[in-house]
Amino acid sequence: MSGPERVTVAMTGASGAPYGLRLLDCLVREDREVHFLISKAAQLVMATETDVRLPPKAMMMQAFLTEYTGASAGQIRVYGRDDWMSPVASGSGSPSAMVVVPCSTGSLSAIATGACNNLIERAADVTLKERRQLILVPREAPFSSIHLENMLKLSNMGAIILPASPGFYHQPQTIDDLVDFVVARILNLLNIPQDMLPRWGEHHIGGDE
């Protein structure tokens, strides 16, 4: 199996709930164990942007997402915002990769300062301190100097900033195509197989004339 067997996925309250849901779906299909965290604001955004209505409590959310994605029992684990006893709260138990998708500018700032005021911030802090893979998918327009400084700071610490800005060179026909563009880039970084977007040059037959 290429890429991490266990991945932490955190959804925060930036626009872009479909990215997080699609990533969850892809990770389940690739047989990964997913540790799932979601902020209150992200639940509001999800209800605004999609037809998915997550139940509020972690255990019910876990059952819902397991059925929604067709995951096997125990494949998706959902933790509440103050569940400090969960594996993601500690370097000895947390997965080797974490994706915050979408990443609000508020969570970006909290992660950049090591605030650890909720489990999402703590899990990201753990990922950074353990020098593991942290992928942040911010969405805001325009970015202020504060946002840009936080992104630079995190990038210098080893986090990967992957903005939710799909390209158009694959000639997307649907919104799903645009979502898949971003999710495919996340999966490429994780080294997890995906067939949504060919890697650049994959179908290129040599020659420069």
Instruction: Using CB under 6 A, pick the residue from 3, 7, 10, 12 that binds ligand FMN.
Output: 12
In the list 62, 66, 107, 127, the residue contacting ligand FMN (rule: CB under 6 A) is 107
- Report how far residue 146's alpha carbon sits from residue 150's, in angstroms, rounded to the nearest whole number: 6
Contacts with ligand FMN by CB under 6 A: the residue count is 16
Pick 14 or 162: Cβ nearer ligand FMN: 14
Rounded Cα–Cα distance for residues 143 and 122 (Å): 24
CB atoms closer than 10 angstroms to residue 161: 17
14 is in an annotated binding site: yes
By CB under 6 A, residue 112 contacts ligand FMN: no
Check residue 106 for interaction with ligand FMN (CB under 6 A). yes
User: From residue 123 to residue 142, what is the string marking binding to ligand FMN with x (rule CB under 6 A)?
Assistant: ----------------xx--
Longest dimension (CA), the chain: 60
Minimal CB distance residue for ligand FMN = 13
Pairwise CA distance, residues 132 & 109, whole Å: 19
User: Does 13 count as an annotated binding residue?
Assistant: yes
Cite the DSSP H helix spans in the chain: 17-29, 40-49, 58-69, 105-113, 119-129, 145-156, 175-190
Amino acid at the residue 149? E
Residues near ligand FMN, by CB under 6 A: 12-15, 39, 41-42, 44-45, 48, 104-107, 139-140
Known binding site for dimethylallyl phosphate: residues?
Answer: 169, 185
